[in-house]
Amino acid sequence: MGFGSYDESEQKDDNTDFDDDDAVNVHESEHDGDVSFESEMSNEELVDQLSQMKGGDDD
């Protein structure tokens, strides 16, 4: 068998009868998206650090 080939016996019809109770509820763990973190660095220091990480000189 070459690249991209498949065994047709693996393509048989599987049981696809699913019960709604087995489904995943995507709204189960919703949140408002509030994020906070603690840092002793100022915004300017954080931007400078990001600039260094990117390898650029924005001075």
| pLDDT per residue as tens digits for the range 1-45 | 456 666 666 666 666 666 667 778 888 887 788 888 888 999 899
pLDDT tops 60 at residue 59: no
Res 4: pLDDT: 66
Q: What is the pTM of this model?
A: 0.32
Distance of CA 1 to the CA centre of its chain: 34
Rounded mean pLDDT of 43-58?
85
Res 54: pLDDT: 94
